[in-house]
């Protein structure tokens, strides 16, 4: 690896920022940055790809909440509100097919405070949780199937036990009748 030679602190800073930008753009994680007023000011290339945003699109006009299915929007907005209030939070959301190439995402919202202690940026990053949610649905389906099967087996078992008890009673009655006949 070549070590760059810098003539000034400004060149070092620019190089450092360039490297961080490259790392952020290369990750498949969706990374969004909002200002302290909740306005989107940055989304990385992974996020743009996930949400079908072109490099030339104006992200300030993008309705990022609309990418989330309506039933999950209140939780997402609450987590976002908590972040703007200074508290980090986590949220699970299901996306609309038009809004994201991921069915489900697990999001982390982290407030970034300035020297004055106020939230001046909000970092919102999310990872694809589709496989995790599909596995959870499959597990729930299997559990329900096993529960139904278990209920069926309990009914059969109850029937069989009842039948056996009736057979025992019948045998006892036959013995009693035979005993009365002979006695």
Give pLDDT tens digits for 134-155: 999 999 899 998 898 888 888 8
Q: Are residues 57 and 109 in the same domain?
A: yes
Prediction pTM value: 0.68
What are the residues whose beta carbons fall under 8 Å from the beta carbon of 45, sequence distance 6 or more?
Answer: 25, 26
The total number of structural domains that make up the chain: 2
Answer whether residue 1 is part of any domain: no
Question: pLDDT, tens digit, for every residue of 84-127?
Answer: 999 999 999 999 999 999 999 999 999 999 888 899 999 999 99
- CATH number of the domain bearing residue 121: 3.30.450.20
150 and 64, same structural domain? no
> What per-residue confidence (pLDDT) applies to 5?
64
Rg over alpha carbons for the chain, rounded to the nearest Å, is: 32
Instruction: Residue 14: give the domain boundaries.
Output: 9-128
């Amino acid at each position: 690896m070549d070590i760059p030679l810098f003539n000034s602190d400004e060149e070092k800073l620019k190089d450092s920022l360039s490297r961080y930008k490259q790392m952020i753009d290369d990750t498949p994680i969706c990374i969004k940055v909002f200002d302290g007023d909740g306005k989107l000011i940055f989304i990385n290339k992974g996020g743009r790809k996930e949400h079908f945003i072109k490099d030339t699109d104006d992200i300030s006009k993008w309705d990022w909440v609309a990418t989330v299915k309506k039933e999950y929007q209140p939780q997402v907005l609450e987590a976002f509100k908590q972040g703007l209030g200074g508290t980090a939070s986590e949220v699970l959301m299901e996306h609309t097919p038009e809004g994201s190439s991921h069915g489900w995402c697990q999001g982390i919202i982290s407030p970034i405070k300035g020297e004055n202690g106020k939230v001046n940026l909000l970092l919102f990053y999310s990872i694809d949780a589709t496989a995790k949610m599909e596995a959870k649905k499959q597990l729930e389906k299997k559990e329900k199937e096993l529960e139904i099967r278990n209920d069926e087996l309990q009914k059969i078992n109850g029937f069989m036990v009842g039948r056996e008890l009736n057979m025992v009673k019948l045998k006892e009655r036959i013995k009693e009748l035979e005993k009365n006949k002979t006695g």
